[in-house]
Structure 1
Amino acid sequence: MDQSQSEMNGIGQRLRELRQKRGLNQQDLASDDISVSYVSLIETGKRAPSDTVLKTLAERVGCTVDYLRTGRDDARVKELELKVAFGDMALRNGANGEALQSYSEALANAPLLQEATVRRARLGQALAFEKLGRLEAAIQLFTALFEDRATVPGTGEWAQLAVALCRAYRDSGDQMMSVEVGERALKRLDQLGLEYTDDHIQLGATLITCYFQRGDLTQAQLLVNRLSAMAEQSGSRVARGSVYWNAALVARSRGQFQESLALTERALMLMAETDNVRHLGVLKANCASFLLDTDSTEYERIEELLTESQDAVVEVGTAVEQAKVEIEFARLALRQGVPHSAIDRASRAIGLLRSESPWDSAFARALLAQAQFDLGEERSARETMQAVERELLRLPENRASATVWRQAGDVWLANGCPVEAMSFYQRALSGAGLVPLHSTAPAKVVAPQA
Structure 2
Amino acid sequence: MDSTAEDGEGTGRRLRELRRARGLKQQDLASDDVSVSYISLIESGKRTPSAAVVALLAERLGCTPGYLLTGQDDTRTRELELKAAFADLSLHNGADAEALQAFSEVLAAAPVLPEATVRRARLGQALALERLGRLEAAAQALTALYEDPRCVAGSAEWSRLAAALSRCHQALGDQVLSVEIGERALRRLDQLGLEATDDHIQLGAVLVGCYRSRGDLAKARLVADRLIRIADDGGGRSAQRETYWNAALVARSQGRIDEALALAERACALLAESDHLRHHALLRTVYGTLLLSCEPADPERAHQLLERSHAQLVDVGTPAEQASAQTGLAWACLRLDRAAEARQHASRALALLRDEPRGESVEARAVLAHAQFAEGEDQQARDTLRAAAQQLRQLPTDRSSAAAWRRIADVWHRHGHTAEAGAAYRQALDDAGLPGLPAATDRAGVPGAAR
TM-score (norm 1): 0.89
- Describe the superposition over 1:262-301 as per-residue Cα deviations: whole angstroms up to 9, x where unpaired: 3322332343334444334322221211111124342332
Aligned to 2:426: 426
Which amino acid in 2 is paired with 1:182?
G
CA shift, 1:380, in A, is 2.9
Aligned in 2, Cα 1:110/1:357: closer, same or farther, shift over 3 Å? farther
In 1, Cα distance between equivalents of 2:38 and 2:258: 78
Which amino acid in 1 is paired with 2:322?
Q
> After the TM superposition, which of the residue ranges 57-66 and 318-327 deviates more from structure 2?
57-66
Aligned in 2, Cα 1:426/1:329: closer, same or farther, shift over 3 Å? same
Which amino acid in 1 is paired with 2:110?
A
CA shift, 1:107, in A, is 0.5
| 1:255 lines up with 2:275 in the alignment | no
In 1, Cα distance between equivalents of 2:235 and 2:69: 56
Which amino acid in 2 is paired with 1:400?
S
CA shift, 1:79, in A, is 3.0
Aligned in 2, Cα 1:231/1:64: closer, same or farther, shift over 3 Å? closer
CA shift, 1:197, in A, is 2.2
Within 5 Å, give how 1:351-430 maps onto structure 2.
351-354=351-354, 358-430=358-430
Aligned to 2:189: 189
CA shift, 1:405, in A, is 2.0
In 2, Cα distance between equivalents of 1:227 and 1:307: 31
In 1, Cα distance between equivalents of 2:152 and 2:197: 15
Aligned in 2, Cα 1:238/1:70: closer, same or farther, shift over 3 Å? closer
Contact 1:91-1:316 at 8 Å conserved across structures: no
CA shift, 1:402, in A, is 2.2
In 2, Cα distance between equivalents of 1:218 and 1:414: 30
Aligned to 2:269: 269
CA shift, 1:42, in A, is 1.7
Within 5 Å, give how 1:3-42 maps onto structure 2.
3-30=3-30, 34-42=34-42
CA shift, 1:189, in A, is 1.2
CA shift, 1:237, in A, is 4.5
> After the TM superposition, which of the residue ranges 357-366 and 182-191 deviates more from structure 2?
357-366
Contact 1:397-1:431 at 8 Å conserved across structures: yes
- Describe the superposition over 1:290-344 as per-residue Cα deviations: whole angstroms up to 9, x where unpaired: 1111243423321232234335544543332222112111110111111222122
Aligned to 2:448: none
In 2, Cα distance between equivalents of 1:235 and 1:105: 35
Aligned to 2:210: 210
Which amino acid in 1 is paired with 2:91?
L
> After the TM superposition, which of the residue ranges 230-239 and 25-34 deviates more from structure 2?
25-34
In 2, Cα distance between equivalents of 1:373 and 1:346: 13
Q: How many residues align?
A: 445
In 1, Cα distance between equivalents of 2:133 and 2:194: 34
Contact 2:300-2:332 at 8 Å conserved across structures: no
Contact 2:94-2:278 at 8 Å conserved across structures: no
Aligned to 2:112: 112
Contact 1:133-1:356 at 8 Å conserved across structures: no
In 1, Cα distance between equivalents of 2:48 and 2:178: 54
CA shift, 1:56, in A, is 4.9
Within 5 Å, give how 1:87-102 maps onto structure 2.
87-102=87-102
Which amino acid in 2 is paired with 1:176?
V
- Describe the superposition over 1:236-278 as per-residue Cα deviations: whole angstroms up to 9, x where unpaired: 5444443333232222222222222233223323433344443
Aligned in 2, Cα 1:366/1:71: closer, same or farther, shift over 3 Å? same
In 1, Cα distance between equivalents of 2:342 and 2:281: 21
Aligned to 2:121: 121
CA shift, 1:24, in A, is 4.1
Contact 1:306-1:328 at 8 Å conserved across structures: yes
CA shift, 1:66, in A, is 3.5
Aligned in 2, Cα 1:379/1:326: closer, same or farther, shift over 3 Å? same
In 1, Cα distance between equivalents of 2:85 and 2:346: 36
Aligned in 2, Cα 1:63/1:266: closer, same or farther, shift over 3 Å? closer
CA shift, 1:15, in A, is 1.6
CA shift, 1:235, in A, is 6.2
Aligned to 1:448: none
In 1, Cα distance between equivalents of 2:37 and 2:23: 19
> After the TM superposition, which of the residue ranges 393-402 and 259-268 deviates more from structure 2?
259-268
- Describe the superposition over 1:97-130 as per-residue Cα deviations: whole angstroms up to 9, x where unpaired: 1211111111011111112211221121112111
Aligned in 2, Cα 1:420/1:148: closer, same or farther, shift over 3 Å? same
Aligned to 1:321: 321
Aligned in 2, Cα 1:421/1:56: closer, same or farther, shift over 3 Å? farther
In 1, Cα distance between equivalents of 2:62 and 2:430: 58
SS at match of 1:395: coil
In 2, Cα distance between equivalents of 1:265 and 1:97: 31
> After the TM superposition, which of the residue ranges 55-64 and 328-337 deviates more from structure 2?
55-64
Contact 1:171-1:356 at 8 Å conserved across structures: no
> After the TM superposition, which of the residue ranges 319-328 and 61-70 deviates more from structure 2?
61-70
Aligned in 2, Cα 1:112/1:378: closer, same or farther, shift over 3 Å? same
Aligned in 2, Cα 1:26/1:355: closer, same or farther, shift over 3 Å? farther
Gaps of 5+ in 1: 446-450
TM-score (norm 2): 0.89
- Describe the superposition over 1:379-436 as per-residue Cα deviations: whole angstroms up to 9, x where unpaired: 3323322332232222121222222222122222222322333333333223222344
Give the CA RMSD over aligned residues.
2.6
> After the TM superposition, which of the residue ranges 205-214 and 352-361 deviates more from structure 2?
352-361
Contact 1:93-1:315 at 8 Å conserved across structures: no
CA shift, 1:132, in A, is 0.8
CA shift, 1:55, in A, is 4.8
> After the TM superposition, which of the residue ranges 8-17 and 47-56 deviates more from structure 2?
47-56
In 1, Cα distance between equivalents of 2:159 and 2:193: 14
CA shift, 1:184, in A, is 0.9
Within 5 Å, give how 1:160-309 maps onto structure 2.
160-234=160-234, 236-309=236-309
Which amino acid in 1 is paired with 2:74?
D
Once the two structures are aligned, what percentage of the paired residues are identical? 54
